[in-house]
Every structure is written in structure tokens, then in C-alpha cells.
């Protein structure tokens, strides 16, 4: 017996599903993203309450304990995570979702005799396990626990093919016999597939793989909804799977690469991870006062934010610098590359936190033609997304990736910690251009000094 009738359960699930759809629509635009998040959170809360009230009364204590344990783990992690670690958190939660779907499928294996239901169980187990282990590897790469360079070994493709074949065979035996031993074997093989799928991925491709694994988790959740006969899980999982797939394709397109090339490029020697060596070639460096003079006498300034800005937590300082320049009649806009940072929208969220108006954020296609009329391009903590090697060096691992054309500006100023290459691990020839000036140091400290120098003029 439960506290909620089946009719009310179905109605509340339908309302929650509509909330999820409206949330996705809201997230399609920065202006409505906050509202979309709130609608999605309300839908999730409604879904959890509905599950709670529709459960058998004798199971409610176990549900309360599970919620308490999960909240005790997740809440502190979410509150303490820094903006620079947000991609790791997203990947971690995504992996937990895939792992949960796989475990639910294992528990449901013995309660179904239908071959089609067992097929759904096998699919959920395999995809959920792949998502769990693959997401764990992406967390390790982004956190620096695992090298961001592609990790491969001779015969990797053959080993991977053998494991996938073994997983399919194990899945077939699970459908035919329903034996728990084959199910455990399938889970182990799925975990190996996920790890071996992500380990060869390097450098700037990791955020794209996170998005792909998010789509995998959505598919696993949708399949678990079929196993459990839960329409809400089917709807929610399908939405996540579809949106994750669209986002993955959009990010890959922004990198000028195909999804298959990102996943399997290392098998044939291609990757976006290069050398991490620091160059000793001479460059033109400057101080904060000189940069302030350049900015003060410009008519148009384009700021290009990158991961280094997020690491330094300099978003509030750069927003104040932009406001100060605008007060002097200087046009200031922010150029946003689709894959700047470590996750889609990373720079948008970072600047929104500093109350930078949405109107000041210009997407790549909109801002690129305007660089020719820009006096100063101020690049803060970005490297790969402005690297001309993407256009001029066919042998470069990022060749073909659309970039922000900061080289077209009259003057370019880079704020960098050192001459080490960016996340893709390749040298940027723009740093040695006669029109380029470098200001070395922590981005926030450098911006603070530049702001002080501007105010002193």
C-alpha cells in the first residue's frame, strides 16, 4: 500500500516531465537560463516527492535513509566546489547517474522473464557501466590525477574490440539465462570499455567526451525506465540523451572535428594533446602601466576570457576594468569561444557571476569580423581558442578548429602565467608577433595592477 494512488502518481509524473521539457527550453538562452534551472529543479523535486509518496509504506524508512546518506555526501561537495572544478563535478554526478542505472538494472534482472525486458536490462547495465568508468577517468584527467595526454599502448584497438565483443557475448547469455554471474561479468566488461574509451582522449577533447558520456547516462536512465515501467525515467532519460548528443555534436563542430575522430584519433596518432615543454623564444613583455596606456587610448577593446581567468578567480576584477573603460567612452565586449574553459558555457557562467551584461558577450561568429576594427584584444588566460595554428598548420592537432581571430586586432595583449602551452599542449605563434605584448603573472593580480594603472591615468 502507498500514500498516492496510481492515477495521481501518473499525473504528477506528467507534470514533472513537462517541467523538464520547459527547463531545456529555458536553458537554450542565457536570458532565460536561470528560470529554466528553477523549473527543472522544481520538476526534479516533484518527481522525488512523487516517488516517495507512491512507494510502499514499509519501504519509506529505507528511502529516507538513502536520501539522507546521498544528501550528506552531495551537499558538502557541491558547496565547496570551485568554479574551476565545476566540469569535474558535472562529470562525477553524471557518472554516478550511469552507475545507479546499471545497479538498478542488476537488481531488476531476477524479476523479469520477458526477453525484451532482459535486453533493456543488458543495455542499461552496459551503457551505465561505460558512463560510470568513463566519467571517472574524465574526472581524473581534469583534476590532474591522470595525465591529460592520450594514454595508449600497442594493440589497444585489438584489446578494445575484444572486450566489446566479449561484452556482447556476455549480454547475450544474460538475456538467454538471466544468470547473475554473466551479469556481473557484463558490468566488469562495461567498466573496462568506459575506461579504455576515455584514456586515449587527450587535451581539449575531454569536455566533449563529458558531454558524450552525459548522453550515455541519459540513454541508460531511459532504458532503466523501460525496465521499471516508469514513464518519467523514460522521458527524462530521453531528454538528457538527446540534448547531450546535440551538445556533443555542437562542441565537436566548434573544434572543427568529428566525434569519431575525438574518440578514436589517438588510435591512429591524432590528438589535441601535444608537448608541455615551455618555450624559451624571445617575446615582447610589458608591465601593467604600459598595458593600461594601450587600453586607455583605445576606442574599441575585445576581451577574450579563458580557463586561466577562472583559475585566478579574476572575473570580478575584469568586469570592473571593463566598466571603468566604458565610463571613459571605450567600447568593450567579451569574445566567447564555444569551448573556452573546461565545459560548455564555462565563460558565460563565470562572467555572469561578476554581473557582466549578456549584451556584452559576443559569440565567435559575431565577433570575429569585428577584430579588424579592434584597437586592443586583451586575452586573459586563453591560448588554444586563439591559436592561429588551427588555420595555418595542417600538422597541428587542433588544425581545422575555428578560433577567435584576435590576430586581426591592431594590438594584442596576453595575460599569462608563463610561456607554457595551453591545455592542447601546442605553441602559439601569435605570442611572437610584433604586435603582441605579454603581461606575465597571475591573471587576477595582473588585472588588479592594470585597473589601478588605468585609474591613475
How many Cβ atoms sit within 10 Å of the Cβ of residue 137? 24
Among 433, 302, 298, smallest CA distance to 380 is for 302
Strands 376-380, 436-440: pairing kind:
unpaired
CA dihedral 144, 210, 204, 28 (to 10 degrees): -130
| Per-position DSSP letters for 13-77, written without gaps between them | HHHHHHHHHHHHHHTTSHHHHHHHHHHHHHHHHHHHHHHHHHSBGGGHHHHHHHHHHHHHHHHHH
Cβ-Cβ contacts under 8 Å for 319 (sequence gap 6 or more) = 351, 354, 355, 356
Vertex 354: Cα angle to 353 and 358 (nearest 5): 80
SS3 state of residue 211: helix
Distances from the Cα of 5 to the Cα of 11, 53, 56, 61, angstroms:
10, 9, 11, 19
Cβ-Cβ contacts under 8 Å for 321 (sequence gap 6 or more) = 295, 447, 450, 451, 454
Known catalytic membership, residue 384: yes
Distances from the Cα of 46 to the Cα of 19, 50, 79, 105, 241, angstroms:
9, 6, 23, 24, 21
Query: What's phi and psi for 302, nearest 5 deg?
Result: -115, 120
Q: How far apart are CA 44 and CA 51, in angstroms?
A: 11
Distances from the Cα of 15 to the Cα of 36, 59, 410, angstroms:
15, 24, 55
Q: Find cell 588551427 and name the residue.
A: 390
Catalytic position from the list 205, 290, 375, 384: 384
Among 221, 216, 124, 130, smallest CA distance to 174 is for 124
Distances from the Cα of 314 to the Cα of 206, 281, 310, 442, angstroms:
24, 28, 7, 9
Residues designated as active site: 384
Amino acid at each position: 500500500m502507498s500514500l498516492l494512488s496510481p492515477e495521481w502518481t501518473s499525473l504528477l509524473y506528467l507534470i514533472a516531465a513537462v517541467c523538464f521539457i520547459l527547463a531545456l527550453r529555458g536553458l537554450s538562452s542565457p536570458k532565460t537560463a536561470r528560470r529554466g534551472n528553477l523549473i527543472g529543479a522544481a520538476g526534479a523535486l516533484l518527481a522525488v516527492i512523487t516517488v516517495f509518496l507512491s512507494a510502499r509504506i514499509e519501504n519509506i524508512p529505507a528511502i529516507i535513509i538513502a536520501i539522507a546518506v546521498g544528501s550528506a555526501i552531495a551537499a558538502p561537495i557541491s558547496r565547496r566546489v570551485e568554479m574551476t572544478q565545476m566540469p569535474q563535478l558535472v562529470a562525477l554526478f553524471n557518472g554516478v547517474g550511469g552507475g545507479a542505472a546499471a545497479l538498478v538494472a542488476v537488481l531488476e534482472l531476477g524479476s523479469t522473464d520477458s526477453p525484451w525486458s532482459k535486453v533493456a536490462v543488458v543495455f542499461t547495465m552496459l551503457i551505465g557501466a561505460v558512463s560510470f568508468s568513463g566519467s571517472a577517468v574524465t574526472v581524473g584527467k581534469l583534476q590532474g590525477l591522470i595525465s591529460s595526454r592520450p594514454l595508449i599502448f600497442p594493440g589497444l584497438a585489438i584489446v578494445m574490440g575484444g572486450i566489446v565483443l566479449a561484452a556482447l557475448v556476455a549480454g547475450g547469455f544474460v538475456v538467454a539465462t538471466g544468470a547473475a554471474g554473466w551479469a556481473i561479468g557484463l558490468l566488469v566488461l562495461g567498466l573496462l570499455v568506459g575506461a579504455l574509451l576515455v584514456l586515449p582522449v587527450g587535451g581539449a577533447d575531454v569536455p566533449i567526451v563529458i558531454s558524450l558520456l552525459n548522453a550515455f547516462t541519459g540513454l541508460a536512465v531511459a532504458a532503466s525506465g523501460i525496465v521499471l515501467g516508469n514513464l518519467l525515467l523514460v522521458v527524462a532519460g530521453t531528454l538528457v540523451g538527446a540534448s547531450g548528443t546535440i551538445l556533443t555534436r555542437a562542441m565537436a563542430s566548434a573544434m572543427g572535428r568529428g566525434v569519431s575522430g575525438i574518440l578514436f584519433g589517438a588510435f591512429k596518432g591524432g590528438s589535441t594533446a601535444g608537448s608541455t615543454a615551455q618555450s624559451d623564444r624571445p617575446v615582447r613583455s610589458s608591465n601593467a602601466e604600459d598595458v593600461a596606456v594601450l587600453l586607455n587610448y583605445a576606442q574599441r577593446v575585445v576581451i577574450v576570457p579563458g580557463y586561466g581567468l577562472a583559475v585566478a578567480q579574476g572575473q570580478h576584477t575584469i568586469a570592473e576594468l571593463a566598466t571603468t573603460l566604458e565610463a571613459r567612452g571605450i567600447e568593450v565586449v567579451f569574445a566567447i569561444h564555444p569551448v573556452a574553459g573546461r565545459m560548455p558555457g564555462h565563460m558565460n557562467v563565470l562572467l555572469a557571476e561578476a554581473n557582466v551584461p549578456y549584451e556584452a558577450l559576443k559569440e565567435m561568429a559575431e565577433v570575429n569580423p569585428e577584430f579588424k576594427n579592434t584597437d586592443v584584444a586583451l586575452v586573459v588566460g586563453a591560448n588554444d581558442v586563439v591559436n592561429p595554428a588551427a588555420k595555418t598548420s595542417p600538422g597541428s592537432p587542433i588544425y581545422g578548429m575555428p578560433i577567435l581571430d584576435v590576430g586581426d586586432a591592431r594590438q594584442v595583449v596576453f595575460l599569462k602565467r608563463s610561456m607554457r602551452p595551453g591545455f592542447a599542449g601546442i605553441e602559439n605563434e601569435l605570442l611572437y608577433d610584433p604586435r603582441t605584448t605579454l603581461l606575465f603573472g597571475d591573471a587576477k593580480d595582473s588585472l588588479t595592477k592594470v585597473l589601478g594603472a588605468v585609474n591613475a591615468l
